[in-house]
């Protein structure tokens, strides 16, 4: 029996076709998102003729620094094919914990440290249940969302002001870049988180494992990668990012409140998807999620400038999310 193989001249074309398809899958959606942001931001500047377009862009970062950090953690989770619905409640819990502990007389470093322990601990517990009890991430993190939100109400239902002088200085002071262009320290923290996350995902064995799990977990295990450990770890990372986002939101508002962060998990998921992170896992970039946050921030700025009701932000976000899911579907569809 003879075996028919592809002609030698066809093999290079097959290789090139595979490379082109993979590049399209990885880069097309983030590039579309970047083009959309540039177009929206350009239209915003043209319509309202702001005195300083550069400061308008910097304000997007200032207003959404906590969401950038939250989207980074969500990116890790979605890249493995998972989801984390608890992050909005963890953000609220973090604001309540830091405000309550400071009010009780705890030193500021100890109060901040408590927040940065509770968030990853909750994420770790959810990750362990997901991995070793084989429960769907949607269910486990939904339960985590209820638990974290309930703990907020147990601790306090009132708005708790933050009066620590260092945190107030951190939240209120400007960082001048040049001339009169400024950001806040929250943006510096968010940028640092993005840089570290990008390095971990693209330059470390752990990052390669995260992508491999989302692509094909069985193949990752056959290659000797620690799939179970990595899958648990991404939920701990998401919890850490949610805790840090809660701290950034607390110093931005200078208060803690149990109703903070309602629906914030959906914003983080939307930012990641709009930025090109594939919900089935294995494809996406941290910088893409940052672009997604900027798109959402531009929508909010437009709605505010037009004096429209806030629900228009949700409507426009929903439309964009659906469009990008369809784009991802078309990009991932195999020819023929």
Q: Which pLDDT value is given to residue 163?
A: 94
Q: Which pLDDT value is given to residue 7?
A: 57
Q: Does any domain span residue 321?
A: yes
Mean pLDDT of 241-250: 98
DSSP class of residue 260?
A: T
Q: Which pLDDT value is given to residue 2?
A: 47
Range of the structural domain that residue 253 is part of? 30-44+51-330
Q: How many domains does the chain have?
A: 1
Closest CA to 254 of 164, 152, 132: 164
Beta bridge partners of 255: 161
What does the pLDDT look like over 46-65, one tens digit per residue? 988 887 899 999 999 999 99
Mean pLDDT of 307-312: 84
Element (H, E) at 255: strand 255-256
Q: Does any domain span residue 335?
A: no
Q: Does any domain span residue 255?
A: yes
Q: Does any domain span residue 336?
A: no
Q: Does any domain span residue 23?
A: no
Q: Does any domain span residue 109?
A: yes
Q: How many CB atoms lie within 10 A of CB 3?
A: 4
If pLDDT is split at 50, 70 and 90, which confidence band does 336 have?
Answer: very low
What does the pLDDT look like over 30-50, one tens digit per residue? 898 899 999 999 999 998 888
- Mean pLDDT across the chain: 90
Mean pLDDT of 101-123: 97
Q: Which pLDDT value is given to residue 8?
A: 53
SS3 of the chain: helix, strand, coil, percent, to 5: 75, 5, 20
Cα distance between residue 222 and residue 231, in whole Å:
16
Measured between its terminal Cα atoms, the distance across the chain in Å is 29
The backbone torsions φ and ψ at residue 283, rounded to the nearest 5 degrees and listed phi first, read -135, 130
Give me the percent of the chain exceeding a pLDDT of 70.
Answer: 91
**CATH code at position 184:** 1.10.3470
If pLDDT is split at 50, 70 and 90, which confidence band does 15 have?
Answer: very low
Sign of the torsion angle spanned by Cα atoms 71, 76, 80, 82: negative
| Residue that wins the pLDDT comparison between 9 and 52 | 52
Asked if the model's pLDDT at residue 240 lies above 60, the reply is: yes
Q: Does any domain span residue 22?
A: no
Asked if the model's pLDDT at residue 92 lies above 80, the reply is: yes
Mean pLDDT of 78-84: 96
Closest CA to 48 of 294, 298, 280: 298
- Give the predicted TM-score (pTM) of the model: 0.91
Q: Does any domain span residue 5?
A: no
């Amino acid at each position: 029996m003879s075996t028919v193989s592809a002609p030698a001249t066809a093999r290079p074309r097959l290789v090139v076709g595979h490379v082109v398809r993979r590049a399209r899958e990885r880069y097309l959606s983030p590039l579309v998102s970047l083009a959309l942001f540039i177009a929206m931001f350009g239209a915003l500047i043209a319509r309202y003729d702001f005195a300083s377009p550069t400061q308008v862009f910097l304000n997007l970062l200032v207003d959404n620094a906590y969401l950038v950090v939250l989207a980074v953690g969500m990116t890790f989770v979605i890249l493995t094919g998972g989801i984390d619905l608890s992050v909005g409640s963890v953000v609220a819990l973090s604001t309540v914990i830091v405000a309550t502990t400071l009010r009780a007389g705890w030193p500021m470093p100890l109060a901040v440290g408590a927040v940065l322990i509770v968030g990853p601990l909750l994420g770790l517990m959810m990750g362990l249940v997901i991995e070793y009890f084989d429960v769907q991430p949607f269910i486990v993190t939904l339960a985590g969302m209820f638990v974290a939100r309930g703990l907020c109400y147990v601790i306090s239902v009132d708005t708790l002001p933050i009066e620590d002088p260092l945190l107030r200085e951190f939240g209120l002071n400007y960082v001048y870049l040049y001339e009169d262009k400024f950001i806040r320290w929250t943006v510096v923290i968010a940028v640092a988180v993005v840089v570290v996350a990008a390095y971990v995902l693209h330059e470390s064995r752990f990052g390669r494992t995260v992508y491999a799990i989302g692509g094909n977990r069985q193949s990752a295990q056959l290659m000797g990668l620690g799939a179970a450990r990595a899958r648990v770890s991404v939920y701990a990372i998401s919890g850490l990012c949610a805790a840090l986002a809660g701290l950034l939101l607390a110093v931005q508002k200078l208060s803690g409140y149990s109703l903070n962060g309602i629906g914030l998990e959906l914003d983080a998921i939307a930012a990641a998807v709009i930025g090109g992170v594939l919900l089935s896992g294995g494809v996406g970039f941290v910088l893409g999620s940052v672009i997604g946050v900027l798109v959402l921030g531009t929508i909010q700025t437009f709605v505010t400038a037009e004096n429209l009701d806030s629900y228009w932000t949700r409507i426009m976000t929903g439309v964009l999310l659906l469009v990008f899911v369809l784009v991802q579907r078309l990009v991932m569809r195999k020819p023929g």
